[in-house]
């Protein structure tokens, strides 16, 4: 009888596992569909904004910022036809979008090279900088959030809690200039500009990581502080367990979930901050290429960068959501 009674249990477990797997699959498909809409929307908004600019990309290419009155109109017409700029805006957008969905990002108006080639030259530099800044920002944020909760003095904790919002409000270019002044020109420890070597990555990575760590530190500190007020923390204190041990072994795990959420959101801020950071530190990357392409109204290059950034942002957020159940089994995807 016991063997017969125990038989249905594996079947129930299999059904539950199949249900969880099906829910995860539906969730991933739903998020992928949502991500596609976000990417297409970003692509469309960028296209419209670029065409609202009061300038002509072909005339910028031919005449720069100088006098364009001597430019041959026939040459302008030929180039407009070559790049499809003589077509109605909806036709231009649908053509660019269709080619982009096939992996063809078009040709740069500024120099005639394929957009994938131009992006491919700077992509490794920005990815390297962004990954280091993201990891460094997450580690610093968690560390600062923990340290802010270690003092027993309530007043001291409140002072420490106020530091991350202040640091996070500092603009990236100001942080970059301060880092250059102190560590490059003042102490002479690190180079200020360039792309060569790991030492050239330290200052720009810090300039991007500090604002990121400020947000993560603020969320982590508040989450730990709230968890220390929970009944389980009172129970642990009654058993004689110290504050530090409660934070490191119990509260920190609960605080990781909201901090992990900010990783996905931080990707967007890091990609946006790269425009300023790479300019301040004279680095070749997405930021510099974006700034130059917007100035030249090089629509295919800007569209390609926006498309890639939107895909990266959506992908990182999806991965972040899928990691939640691994961190906390109580979290389910639905």
CATH assignment of the domain containing 178: 1.10.3720.10
Please check whether residue 86 lies inside any domain of the structure: no
Query: Is the pTM higher than 0.85?
Result: no
**Residues above pLDDT 90, as percent of the chain:** 0
Q: What is the mean pLDDT of the chain?
A: 76
For 198-236, how does the pLDDT look when each residue is reduced to its tens digit (9 = 90+)? 878 888 888 888 888 888 888 888 888 888 888 888 888
Domain interval for residue 257: 115-295
Please check whether residue 103 lies inside any domain of the structure: no
* Per-residue pLDDT, 282: 78
* Per-residue pLDDT, 144: 85
Please check whether residue 188 lies inside any domain of the structure: yes
Backbone angles phi, psi at 95, to 5 degrees: -65, -50
Please check whether residue 253 lies inside any domain of the structure: yes
* Helix (H/G/I), strand (E/B), else coil: 84: coil
Count of domains in the chain? 1
For 252-300, how does the pLDDT look when each residue is reduced to its tens digit (9 = 90+)? 877 777 777 777 777 777 777 777 787 788 788 777 788 788 777 777 8
In angstroms, the CA 74 to CA 115 distance is: 26
Please check whether residue 160 lies inside any domain of the structure: yes
In angstroms, the CA 271 to CA 118 distance is: 17
DSSP 184: I
* Per-residue pLDDT, 324: 67
* Per-residue pLDDT, 320: 74
Please check whether residue 16 lies inside any domain of the structure: no
**Exposure of 244 by Cβ count < 10 A (0-12 exposed, 13-18 middle, 19+ buried)?**
exposed
Torsion angle, alpha carbons of 125, 126, 129, 133, to 10 = -170
Place of tokens 């957009």: 115
Average pLDDT over residues 141-153: 82
For 44-57, how does the pLDDT look when each residue is reduced to its tens digit (9 = 90+)? 888 888 777 666 66
Dihedral sign, Cα of residue 266, residue 271, residue 275, residue 278 = positive
Please check whether residue 29 lies inside any domain of the structure: no
Please check whether residue 133 lies inside any domain of the structure: yes
């Amino acid at each position: 009888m016991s063997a017969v009674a125990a038989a249905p249990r594996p079947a129930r477990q299999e059904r539950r596992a199949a249900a969880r797997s099906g829910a995860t699959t539906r969730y991933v498909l739903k998020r992928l569909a949502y991500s596609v809409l976000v990417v297409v929307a970003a692509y469309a908004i960028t296209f419209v904004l670029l065409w609202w600019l009061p300038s002509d990309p072909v005339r910028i290419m031919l005449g720069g910022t100088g006098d364009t009155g001597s430019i041959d109109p026939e040459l302008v017409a030929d180039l407009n036809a070559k790049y499809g700029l003589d077509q109605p805006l909806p036709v231009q957008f649908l053509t660019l979008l269709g080619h982009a969905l096939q992996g063809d990002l078009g040709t740069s108006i500024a120099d005639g090279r394929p957009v994938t080639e131009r992006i491919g030259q700077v992509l490794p530099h920005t990815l390297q900088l962004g990954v280091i800044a993201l990891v460094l920002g997450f580690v610093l944020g968690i560390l600062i959030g923990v340290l802010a909760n270690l003092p027993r003095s309530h007043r001291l904790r409140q002072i420490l809690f106020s530091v991350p919002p202040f640091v996070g409000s500092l603009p990236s270019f100001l942080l970059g200039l301060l880092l250059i002044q102190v560590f490059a020109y003042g102490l002479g420890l690190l180079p200020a500009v360039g792309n060569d070597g790991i030492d050239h990555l330290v200052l720009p990575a810090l300039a991007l990581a500090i604002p990121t760590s400020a947000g993560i530190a603020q969320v982590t500190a508040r989450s730990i502080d709230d968890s220390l007020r929970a009944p389980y923390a009172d129970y642990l204190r009654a058993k004689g367990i110290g504050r530090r041990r409660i934070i490191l072994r119990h509260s920190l795990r609960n605080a990781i979930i909201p901090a992990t959420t900010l990783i996905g959101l931080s990707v967007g801020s890091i990609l946006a901050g790269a425009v300023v950071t790479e300019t301040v530190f004279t680095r070749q990357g997405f930021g510099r290429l974006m700034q130059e392409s917007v100035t030249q109204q090089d629509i295919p290059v800007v569209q390609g960068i926006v498309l890639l950034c939107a895909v990266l942002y959506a992908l990182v957020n999806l991965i972040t959501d899928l990691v939640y159940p691994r961190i906390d089994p109580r979290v389910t995807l639905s």
